[in-house]
Structure 1
């Protein structure tokens, strides 16, 4: 359950970043770094390691609790999350795309190691990967926000980079045994686990 909760927290954190950039043109640096770093950690031992520890998904854990217990539920986040879980199915069903994306990320890795995951150049390249590899799969994820920011190429690139990180979290969730049944039968357990992780 712990790994599933961390994966869902990663998903909601990335979606939160998408919303921040779409509405305000910028996002929180630390949560963004954790989400972008997750794209390059292919062989981590646990979900926690993928995000550099529980602190990496603190924002996402708080959002997950709010979504599960209804204290501050965001229906837009729910809609985007469901769209991404559908997109994940199409992604996994396309092994050529999975392999191509892995090669692309490997190619970016040296520059990312030098500049950092949240450098504008890296975010732009990750955004291009989403546009070129993921968008053609269909299951379009509709992002609404301030037209002033969504008309800026740099912001659109960062939004797409965050969507790529959200897709990575959705893939992780399936890999650690997540299913739609969790939302029906395990909501309370997931919320309790999230609270324990926050300590």
Structure 2
């Protein structure tokens, strides 16, 4: 396992973008399908050639790169989701039974892509159910703060769980690129600089 700063930054941008989109949907009922596309795509990309291809193009992580490059004004709750998703990827890797459920579940949902586009509610709800069966049973539980009516709307709740699933998936990619809590803290400024460079690269 190598300490790949570029790979770690790309994966962390995926976690960060998931956290930000969850916060926006929960509080403001804002959902950008374009911003969510690369995250949902990453769930199905289980055997990528490289980390750049996981998100169907780095331009799909623009929100995450911008936030990593300039994190000062990020919402507090989004930062909590970000931190907890990184903790949950470790917990998930420790539970082989949940990983098996996740792997077979993703393959089953892939079969539906013949009939439904990837961002269809049917796909989102199937992925949300997979999150409920696995990650939601682990600690720390992620409690999403926001407008209660969002949680009561089935399609919104499914989108939030799908985004959380994608965030944990990105967290696993971060680990595979050599990411640890220690080097994330020690390389904080390097990650910020790399995120800013990647933002410039895709603009």
Do both share a fold (TM > 0.5)?
A: yes
Local SS of the residue matching 1:36: helix
Partner residue, 2:55: 51
Partner residue, 2:152: 151
Partner residue, 2:44: 40
Cα separation, 2, equivalents of 1:14 and 1:117: 17
List alignment gaps of at least 5 residues for structure 2. none
1:25 positional shift: 2.8
Q: C-alpha offsets along residues 142-187 of structure 1, whole Å, 9 cap, x if unaligned?
A: 1101112222122111111110001101111111001112332211
Q: Normalising to structure 1: TM-score of the pair? A: 0.93
1:109 positional shift: 0.5
Q: C-alpha offsets along residues 101-125 of structure 1, whole Å, 9 cap, x if unaligned?
A: 1111001102125422211110011
List alignment gaps of at least 5 residues for structure 1. none
Partner residue, 1:165: 166
Moved over 4 A (4+): none
Local SS of the residue matching 1:115: coil
For residues 60-75 of structure 1, the aligned pairs below 5 Å read 60-67=64-71, 70=72, 72-75=73-76
Q: Normalising to structure 2: TM-score of the pair? A: 0.91
Cα separation, 1, equivalents of 2:103 and 2:49: 18
For residues 4-43 of structure 1, the aligned pairs below 5 Å read 4-43=8-47
Kept in 2: contact 1:37–1:51 (CA 8 A):
yes
Cα separation, 1, equivalents of 2:125 and 2:131: 10
Q: Which moved further from structure 2: 37-46 or 20-29?
A: 20-29
Cα separation, 1, equivalents of 2:118 and 2:176: 24
Cα separation, 2, equivalents of 1:190 and 1:138: 27
Change (3 A) 1:26 1:116: farther
Kept in 2: contact 1:24–1:149 (CA 8 A):
no
Kept in 1: contact 2:13–2:68 (CA 8 A):
yes
Change (3 A) 1:34 1:113: farther
Kept in 1: contact 2:69–2:194 (CA 8 A):
no
For residues 99-138 of structure 1, the aligned pairs below 5 Å read 99-138=100-139
Cα separation, 1, equivalents of 2:133 and 2:152: 19
Partner residue, 1:90: 91
Q: RMSD of aligned C-alpha atoms?
A: 1.4
Local SS of the residue matching 1:138: coil
Local SS of the residue matching 2:70: helix
Q: Which moved further from structure 2: 44-53 or 180-189?
A: 180-189
